[in-house]
Amino acid sequence: MKIFVEKSIFSNELKLFQGIFEKKTLMEILQNIKVTAFENGVLELTATDLEIGLQSSVKVDVREPGSFTVNGRDFYDLISRMPDGPVEISENNDLQIVINNASKTSKYKLMGMQSSEYPNLPESDFSQSIHLNSAKLQSMINKTYYIISPEMKFNLGGALLSLGSERWEMASTDGHRLAFCAVDESISTGESLEFIVSRKTLLELLKVGEDLDIDFAFDKNNLFFKAGNRVLSARIIDQKFPNYRAVIPESTRFKAGLNAEALLTTLRRVLVFKTRNNGVFFRFDKGKLILERSTPEKGEAHEELQIEYSGDDIKAAFNGHFVLDFLTHVETESIEIGMNDGENSFVFKPVSSQGVDFIYVVMPLNL
């Protein structure tokens, strides 16, 4: 196999695959990327961790078709650091991948593995695919993915994506908080669809679907997302998602309006003191919000913010980092906090939706 490819183009495409490779795996070949050159000048790239897979193609100068697999991180790190201009990549059936720059002043060899040993990706069929607006889908992902911990498994290891005839919804929860968002969009299937999409899949969608609309398809085992020359496949999480709607208060008696940036800046100062549960007391009083934190080993913090509030005096403790997560994922200047008392769920949301309805529900800490 021998190809010539522009370094910048190839490096940018390889970068998309870096999130697929796990740091630890029982199969060494899953650390690799499969590279296949065809006579028609197409270079196909494939990577999988057996849960999700990514395949893309780029146009290159193919002198000799062929295929190999090589460590995906090493391959990207090397290509991205090569001098600008064309890069020559060759392999002569000896599993030694030779990489040269155009002037032959840089030469590297990487050891590969047989491409025949590489797992196959599931077959995708986009003949009856559903068109998804990438900008709206990515906005929903950005507002929900951060709640999902990489350590979470099964039904809490992903976000629930619901596609209806008039509305798309996405929800994620870790048992202590909930992020929910919705957009007014429709699908053409005539029936509603619902899937749990893993955190890793959501993060890869943010990369492969950037600035490109997405065609979505599925079979009984897998989800498929096509964006331009890229196809992302993901195994369906066959679990029941928690009844998240039960934790969203039907109404709130009191509402506080305040500046998102002011609360973000203040809360970051208060959280300078490190504690086990990151607890911060929020006290809502007439026209002001008081933030307090006290640790015997570190000291005390007291902050007051001017807010729009005329309800009862309510005090509750929150994991401060949970509130920070919300504040770093809203795109509006003002937010609203809804509450009934200091013991039940609080509802955080931006004042204006900007096309995406977004609410964030947090349970107070028992301090």
pLDDT at residue 276, rounded to an integer:
75
Is 123 part of any domain?
no
Same domain membership, residue 136 and residue 93: no
pTM score, two decimals?
0.90
- Tokens 């593995």 found at: 113
Residue 241's nearest CA partner among 335, 361, 157, 136 is 157
- Nearest 5°: the CA angle 173, 177, 178 is 50
Is 122 part of any domain?
no
Q: What total of structural domains would you count in the chain?
A: 3
Same domain membership, residue 275 and residue 234: no
Same domain membership, residue 226 and residue 290: no
Is 124 part of any domain?
no
From 245, 262, 294, the end of a domain falls on 245
Asked if residue 155 has pLDDT above 70, the reply is no
Is 41 part of any domain?
yes
From 191, 220, 245, the end of a domain falls on 245
Same domain membership, residue 261 and residue 235: no
Q: How confident is the model at residue 154 (pLDDT cuts 50, 70, 90)?
A: low
Same domain membership, residue 69 and residue 21: yes
Same domain membership, residue 278 and residue 230: no
Q: How far is CA 164 from CA 182, 214, 248, in A?
A: 11, 17, 20
The dihedral region occupied by 41, where left means phi > 0, alpha psi between -120 and 50, and beta the remainder, is left
pLDDT at residue 11, rounded to an integer:
97
Is 161 part of any domain?
yes
* Helix segments in 20-122, DSSP class H: 72-81
Query: Which pLDDT tens digit goes with each residue over 78-124?
Result: 999 999 999 999 998 888 999 999 898 999 999 999 999 999 999 99
Kindly report which listed range (4-8, 132-136, 285-289, 345-349) carries the lowest average pLDDT score.
Answer: 132-136
State mean pLDDT over 160-177. Answer: 92
Is 367 part of any domain?
no
The CATH number of residue 55's host domain is 3.10.150.10
Same domain membership, residue 102 and residue 161: no
* Helix segments in the chain, DSSP class H: 7-15, 72-81, 134-142, 199-208, 260-270, 320-327
Same domain membership, residue 97 and residue 38: yes
Is 70 part of any domain?
yes
pLDDT at residue 170, rounded to an integer:
96
pLDDT at residue 62, rounded to an integer:
96
Is 149 part of any domain?
yes
Same domain membership, residue 271 and residue 168: no
Give φ, ψ of 334 to 5 degrees.
Answer: -120, 150
pLDDT at residue 278, rounded to an integer:
87
Distance, CA of 137 to CA of 155 (rounded, Å)? 20
Same domain membership, residue 100 and residue 33: yes
Residue 155's nearest CA partner among 171, 176, 143 is 171
Same domain membership, residue 254 and residue 235: no
Domain that holds residue 17: 2-117
Query: Which pLDDT tens digit goes with each residue over 240-268?
Result: 999 999 999 999 999 999 999 999 999 99
Same domain membership, residue 147 and residue 197: yes
From 188, 215, 245, the end of a domain falls on 245
